[in-house]
Amino acid sequence: MTLRTDSLSASIRYDGSVRSLQLEASTAEALTAFEGEASAAGDGHVLTGSLTTANAKALQAAFPALRPQLIGGHRTSVGTGDRTGLATPGQARAFGAQGGNVMPVLAQQSIREMDRLGRSAQSVMDDAVFGLVEAGWDSGFGADCDHIKTTEGIDRGLEAGFVMFTLDPGDLVADVTGGVNEADAAALPWDQLQDTLEDTKKRYVGMTLDVGHSQIEVTEQDVLTAVVKYGRAVVESMRLYRHVTENAQQEVEVEFAVDETTWLTTFFEHFYMATELTRLGASWFSFAPRYVDGFEKGLDFLGDTEELRLNLEAHHAISQQFGGYKISLHSGSDKFSIYPLCVEATQGLVHLKTSGTSYLCGVEVVAAHDPELFAAIWDISRASYVKARASYQVSAHEDRTPTSLTGVDLPELIRSADARQILHVGYGDSLNGTDASGASIHDRFLAVVAENQAQHTDVLAAHIGQHLAPFAAAPTGR
């Protein structure tokens, strides 16, 4: 595939597993911003270059569609993270074939995943840009620097040109399962909240909260619980928010996420956070509460679907009271049974995030072409599962999976629930590991996938397309 302007065309060439940037231009001047070997060719000029940051930035300057765009609060959107840097072409094809009007977020990775894989925010952006050139994608994309917990993480994303920042104050969400009292609430940093406990109680106690399908009478205990549980998270959210907005050189947008916590976000707690963040001057396009249980990595939804429907409807009703921001679904990979429900319950004001499922598509390609490499990935992932699962919602049991792969149907193994989760959360240890000869598994993985990129793209396009079709049917312009 090729991207074109009136004076320049760009494509990606494969020579086995080695990729290069190929440019053709009508004038030599059109190539001056690029690194590589240039020469005259017929009536024009050509350049062959490496996939460097300088070339990615030059492409963004030449092709407006390669510059990240704001996602916006009133268009259904789906993020498809890429742990390997090779998934974007298949993801883009899926959006083109089955994405409808869904906004694609094709540069999406959490700071945690970047650190585990030794990637920079810039390399994530660069890989997305080159992948979009490979796909010939000219319809725009979003870029999400995901699950940020530090100002240093924000700075990384800003420098690389990200325009969406998912701010995660989850470490400051308090465990209130043992109960709270007024003394607990009084100990909050009220100066940073620019408020007092008495004024907070006056704002909320006795109010009736409309959550669409029901109404909630807010008690003093509800308020004490909410402020103790989320008060410090509000302070941290604002610290991160101010850093983004005060340091951004480009227009940016924010999602707040408290989904990666043990404790569900009640409807009043969502309302409390939204009210306090608004009072302190924040604005956002998407919010990720901690939903009902059932959102496990790599598997379909395992919880009560009717409970989820009521949960989403209520969170959506609360968002409508603050202008109608989107409800964000994290750990959204492979939840095929609930996608139509999610679209209906939120009236299309929904943002879905996937990541690990695209990595597993790459694992499928490796299993098909290099079973020995897959076995090394499997052994490391399985051995590290007990440690790796601490960061995720998973329920796999490694003792239900094979230790030897002799005679095992590898595609069937990858599709099985236990193995799927083990591989899903074991990516960091396996890709950072070495095979029996001491060679880098990461390098071998990329080489096998790149050598079979046509198949990889096909597998991704089909699998991500399954995710997109229900969201493409969502209403727009709400």
Return the active site residues. 146, 255
Dihedral angle over CA of 66, 72, 75, 79, nearest 10 = 60
Name residues whose C-beta falls within 8 Å of residue 4's C-beta, 6 or more positions apart in sequence.
10
Element (H, E) at 104: strand 103-110
Judge whether 166 and 186 are in contact, CB under 8 Å: no
d(CA 254, CA 252): 7
User: What's the number of CA atoms in the CB half-sphere (13 Å) around residue 235?
Assistant: 17
Helices (H), 220-338: 220-247, 267-279, 305-320
3-class state of residue 19 by DSSP: strand
d(CA 278, CA 23): 48
Taking the alpha carbons at both ends of the chain, their separation in whole angstroms is 35
Closest CA to 428 of 364, 377, 366: 377
Judge whether 80 and 449 are in contact, CB under 8 Å: no
Helices (H), 355-402: 356-369, 371-388
- Tokens found for residue 365: 């390609």
